[in-house]
Amino acid sequence: MDASDTKGMLGVVKDGISRGLRVVNIRSREAYDTLKIKNKMRELGTRRRNAMLDMGNSIYRSYKHKGQISIDVAREKCEGIERIDAEIVSCEEELDLIHSNAQKALGSLKALSGPDNGQEETKTE
């Protein structure tokens, strides 16, 4: 093995390590962003459940004490729940975008490595 073969092998190893680090970076960023969004969605789900319970309690208390249901109160509570639902949908869309962007980044990384995946052909002497 001469010096040029050694340099070539070192270049392949270096490229492989560099590509591996980029994959790890892309995947870890995707995992971090996904976790952040899922935590927000969990919080929104809790807020939604609490808002639903609050709406039911308000309507029942109004009926029990006044003998009637306030449409304005019910409408206001429903609108609040709809706002939370819209935030949840927005988070789901953001999650899809995070995964899509990670796939694109990984795809472009594969494209950069070429059809031979960065491996040189073996030479026969």
Q: What is the pLDDT of residues 2-61, one digit of tens each?
A: 666 777 778 878 778 888 888 889 999 999 999 999 999 999 999 999 999 999 999 999
Range of the domain at 60: 14-107
> Which of 122, 118, 123 lies closest to 13, judged by CA?
118
Domain count for the chain: 1
Residue 86, in any domain of the structure: yes
In this prediction the pTM is 0.71
Give the HSE-up count for residue 22: Cα atoms under 13 Å, Cβ half-sphere: 17
Residue 94, in any domain of the structure: yes
Q: What is the pLDDT of residues 77-102, one digit of tens each?
A: 999 999 999 999 999 999 999 999 99
Residue 47, in any domain of the structure: yes
Residue 40, in any domain of the structure: yes
pLDDT band at residue 110 using 50, 70 and 90 as cut-offs: confident
Residues 26/105, Cβ–Cβ less than 8 Å: yes
**Count of residues making up the chain:** 125
